[in-house]
Amino acid sequence: MNQPLLDHATQTMAAGSKSFDTAAKLFDAETRRSALMLYTWCRHCDDVIDGQTLGFAGAGITDSADERLAALRDLTEQAYRGVPMKDPAFAAFQEVALAHAIPRQQAFDHLEGFAMDVRDTHYRNFGDTLRYCYHVAGVVGLMMARVMGVNDEKVLDRACDLGLAFQLTNIARDIVEDAEIGRCYLPEDWLAAAGLAGRNLADPAHREALARLATRLVEEAEPYYASARAGLAGLPLRSAWAIATARGVYREIGVKVRRAGPHAWDRRQGTSKPEKLLLLMAGAGQALTSRVARSAAPRPAGLWQRPR
């Protein structure tokens, strides 16, 4: 075992995602290691594109976002070819991608999400927003499911649904923060109906309208959260516990955004340690229940379908 690589991945998770870090501790040791390795690569790619370190502003960035994206694509290709990787994030990715046969297309689908940011893609309708959610989070759900040993396409659909739900929640929570750096993932037809435009979303005068749009996003996430819960039966027990807990933590963030209304962006919405503990216990109950009813309900019609 490459302990320094694991230590780096553990530190990256703890600093970069307190929500998922709690859940990741519930995996068995082997699955946790692989999940941490995969997360490290995802976090690194995100930070490289944004010129950040673990979500915080970096310094000394001189190359363009296009050049950084090209470098990420090149290093990802090298990782799949088995070229020895010097960068810890890519060494971590190479280990997990080759060990779990993560499809190359899925890794490059994830990089396409960053490319959409680099291109300043606009989202005309909710379907376009969901396509973005797939690239930045749904496909991560697919790769994480591979780490947990999932090969069943129906269970993979549920893993993708959870990623979509997570990202819809993130978008609702971060509307103002994203707007302040010139990004908007809300559908343009929603904005037009509310009398808003992407360029003015950070204006405090628009908080009432934003709250209505955020509530709509949170409500749109619900069928995907429900679909993901039905997929717990297809996971090993400890993985089901971890994913049920992560699902509960992220869903609670959306609940808080909706409850806070126009004040949702006065501070970053999250869950406290006591709340995480309660959600951890609730996740255990959901995981155990999934062992009893192993025949999941059919995936609801009308949900966005991932590429096959």
pLDDT tens-digit map of 34-51: 999 999 999 999 999 988
308: pLDDT strictly greater than 90: no
Spatial contact of 74 and 29, defined as CB atoms under 8 Å apart:
no
pLDDT for the residue 294: 59
Residues 243 and 98 in one domain: no
How far apart, in whole angstroms, are the C-alpha atoms of residue 235 and residue 291? 10
Residues 106 and 204 in one domain: no
Q: Which CATH number does the domain housing residue 131 bear? A: 1.10.600.10
- Could you tell me what percent of the chain has a pLDDT over 90? 81
Residues 111 and 158 in one domain: no
Using 50, 70 and 90 to split pLDDT, how confident is the model at 58?
very low
Residue-wise pLDDT for 87-132, tens only, equals: 999 999 999 999 999 999 999 999 999 999 999 999 999 999 999 9
User: Of residues 203 and 56, which shows the higher confidence score?
Assistant: 203
How far apart, in whole angstroms, are the C-alpha atoms of residue 296 and residue 190? 33
Residues 99 and 144 in one domain: no
Residues 133 and 32 in one domain: no
Tell me which of 158-162, 169-173, 196-200 is least confident.
196-200
Residues 105 and 180 in one domain: no
Q: What angle do CA 76, 137, 75 make, to 5 degrees?
A: 10
Last residue of a domain, one of 105, 120, 135: 120
- Any alpha helices (H) in the chain, and if so which ranges? 3-16, 18-24, 29-50, 65-81, 88-99, 104-118, 126-133, 139-147, 153-173, 175-180, 188-194, 207-230, 237-260, 273-292
Residues 274 and 191 in one domain: yes
The tokens for 150 are 């999932």
Residues 108 and 132 in one domain: no
Residues 153 and 231 in one domain: yes
Helix (H, G, I), strand (E, B) or coil at 61: coil
Domain range for residue 127? 122-308
Last residue of a domain, one of 80, 98, 120: 120
Last residue of a domain, one of 85, 120, 155: 120
pTM for this model (two decimals): 0.92
> For the residues 205-209, what does the mean pLDDT come to?
96
- Could you tell me what percent of the chain has a pLDDT over 70? 89
* Cα–Cα distances in angstroms (integers) from residue 19 to residues 188, 200, 251, 280, in the given order: 29, 30, 11, 11
Domain count, the chain: 2
The tokens for 298 are 């059919």
Residues 114 and 182 in one domain: no
